[in-house]
Chain A
Amino acid sequence: MFDSFDPLKGKMLRILDERGKVLKAGQKWMPELSDEELVDGYRAMVRARVADERAVSYQRQGRIFTLPTNIGQEASAVGTIKALRPDDWMVQSYRELGGVLAKGGTVKNHLAYFSGSETGSVHPGNPRLLPLSVPITSQVTHAAGIGHSIVYRGGDEVAITFFGDGGTSQGDFNEGLNWAAVYKCPVIFVCNNNQYAISLGRAAQTGSETLAQKAVAFGMPGMIVDGNDYLAVVAATRAAAEHGRAGKGPVLLEMYTYRMGAHTTSDDPSIYRSKEEEESWLAKDPLIRMKAFMVERKLWDEDKEEALRKEMGAECDEAMREVENMDPTPVEDIFRYQYESMPPELERQMQDYKAFLAWKESR
């Protein structure tokens, strides 16, 4: 597949057009997916969309803190993870909610994190999903190390990691991709080119014509994928995973997409982009085209859509209530996880603080 989409020529893998019709040129790359898998994938995208929409509204109501949303990028987040196995590793940045949920994460833990609890960094059952990573692109090196470990142990898992268009300017992008290429680590580097790094547009970020072409210099395949096309994302990720599992090393996938929401709930995109531009991307919404594709195949209809959104909304509201009923972080938890066993100095600081709390209580 990678030979057919030379990033230096700006070729892009697309299977569906914006109305959900299979493109003639895309037919060849159509991934094998059962009806159940198609429905499952679409449901996962809607789940992420609803969770984001609810979270923004909770934030506006002052019930959770600032958070970034995945809106508009669900195909990339969900399609990648759905194309992989449960024993593969996901190394997230912070804008892949759909993938986090597909990997086994819960809306409750997601909301717990953005309510200020570290307990939300991990998820029930401990899926192979690293916690959210704030420093831009630093997590790419972790995926390289996980890939290295897989090679060392002779496993056939892969690691997948996510970062943005702006992230390609970071030093760790270079160091992480280079390491993975040198040691042929099975890593799928997913660059979600959503056209913005907070306020800075893609064109101002790099002199490269495309982001995928950066792969060429590292000595790995790179491909541009229509990141709003769920089927293209699945097909590309499967090809990249196969590449990695066969011992051929890493792949860079540039998911061409659009951050339909703000950078975070604290951001105001009207400062740096036009309404017209935003509207032009509405029609390219990954959910719209996948839905049309499903409806056409009689796998989906408006009743199902409505029922699903209702179900997901209720799930979110329930999760939000549970998070709001959580106790504040216990004092012990602030100290307990610094080291395997608490050094005497930390123990002393904790006891001093508890003595203060007791004094405060007694006044």
Chain B
Amino acid sequence: MKAKVKLEKKPQGLTFQDLILQLSQFWMKQGCVLQQPYDVEMGAGTMHPETFLRVLGPHAYRVGYVQPSRRPADGRYGENPNRLYKHSQFQVILKPSPVDVQDIYLKSLGAMGIHLQEHDIRFEEDNWESPTLGAWGIGWQVLLDGLEITQFTYFQQSGGIDLDPISVELTYGLERIGAFLQGTESVYDLRWSADMTYGQIRLREEQQFSAYSFDRSDASAIRSEFELHEKQAKELLDGFKGLEGEDRVRYPLLAAYDHCLKCSHLFNLLDARGVISTTERAALMARVRTLACRTAAAYLVQMGGSVSQREVRA
């Protein structure tokens, strides 16, 4: 064995924050608007209005942003090295989908410091579906030496509406990619900045929110919150009917969508608490989906587009 000449090894790979910066810069150069995380709790970057609503209608759009994604049932009290209550996704929407989208995506891996020639990168079938959003798409999980690093999806439907044109959604799992680049076994050892680790910054959050969502949340209070948000969303959506001109343009559909997002997160909390029976589970999901689909249809009307509810061909 070699003598330990150097006490400190040069740290390997990008820091977590550098990774976000590199991806942001790369996609900015591809013409993306750099957006910010949405300030309502959500389970995935897809639920951000910059994806869920922007993919609707005919207008071209390119956007990239980080979205902290809360999945209460995935929490592990900060004890599991790979599973988190809240993880970070870097989300990119390219609308319409460019013909060389796979090549552009691969270049983004280069921007993170991955030399494509030295690795085994493949696109393996993985179709995506969100029953609560009435959304689905066709695509792959991208595997880097066997590790799933990105969900790559050609969106087909959002809010129950057939999309035209088709958007590509790229969702990078930042913690996984970061851990890969730095060669760490646990997400908590990931260097966030030059001198702080992911654990130093986020561990307490994981511990406390796991404890909250598994052990301490008040299920009956959450149920009533769900009802309240659903009620408001419905009222807002009902009020949109028949509006014309400026009244229609300024109508707060975005607020209706916020309430829909709230419902989705509250549902996830109930689920994590283990208080939902099978039948109730399906019913609650259907209620959220109804709000999402109604919002999407109203949004299209507001944007001046027509709602195409064409039957999807198999």
Asked if A pairs with B, the answer is: no
Which residues of B does A touch, CB under 8 Å?
none
| Interface set of A (CB-CB < 8 Å, partner B) | none
